[in-house]
Amino acid sequence: MAERRTPGVGAVVVGMAGIALVALLVFGLVRRSPDTSIDEGLASGRSIPAPAFTLALLDPGQRLGGLAAPMRRAGGDGRLGIGELRGTPLVLNFWASWCEPCRDEAPVLERAWRRQARPAGVLVLGLSMLDSDNEARGFVREFGITYPNVHDGTNGVARRYGVPALPETFFITAEGQVVGHVIGVISATQLRDGIRAARTGQILGARDGGDSRPTR
């Protein structure tokens, strides 16, 4: 009869270490993976509630007048919550100063803000992420950006919106529902269509734009 052997302490330790490593890798992937529910909903023809956030304004003294009354009150404490903007259609743009495609996109967004969005009562809101305050403010100054921007030093908000690369843009209705998403540098035509969708609630779905860069 063959002698039955039990695993040694070393083998048990190695086995447990392997299991722990796999668990950590799985946890890391789950934690880092962006939420895909917005694009999944848009693909099925449904609008999705915009994930909430409250972030510091890059320019706390910036006046947000010229739109609806709730907009004029928003940001009075130097922070801006998306819930404060309920009643105002939004174009929400994720960007960073280190993102080269974002530099190509910035003038397109500024023109659309001045000529189309603001006259129509639609707010363009930039969200600087994975950036320092100073670098983000330098970007805003360089491109003469006049629409408001908030700052997230992490990618926490981006993960909830399903943003793995920059730039990306979301169109949100006055009721807080996401109706469109452009992945990559947005075109003037896509902005025009998205501004209209934010006002009317038309479902645009997720569309490819131009170049983009993975988040760091």
The band of 60, judged by pLDDT with boundaries at 50, 70 and 90, is confident
> Residue 215 has what pLDDT?
87
pLDDT above 90: residue 5? no
Domain annotation for the chain: domains and CATH numbers:
35-214 (3.40.30.10)
Distance CA 10, CA 14 (A): 6
Q: What is the mean pLDDT of residues 44-66?
A: 86
pLDDT above 80: residue 20? no
Contacts of 192 (CB under 8 A, 6+ apart): 112, 116
pLDDT above 70: residue 47? yes
pLDDT above 50: residue 200? yes
CB atoms inside a 10 Å sphere around CB 207: 17
| Distance (Å) of CA 118 to CA 8, 38, 171 | 71, 25, 14
Distance CA 124, CA 167 (A): 14
63 Ramachandran zone, left/alpha/beta (phi>0; psi -120 to 50): beta
Start-end of H helices in 33-176: 37-43, 69-73, 100-112, 133-142, 156-161
pTM exceeds cut of 0.75: yes
pLDDT above 60: residue 81? yes
What does the CA dihedral 201, 145, 169, 171 come to, rounded to 10 degrees? -10
Residue-wise pLDDT for 106-147, tens only, equals 999 999 999 999 999 999 999 999 999 999 999 999 999 999
Best CA proximity match to 98, nearest among 53, 50, 125, 138: 138
> Residue 22 has what pLDDT?
39
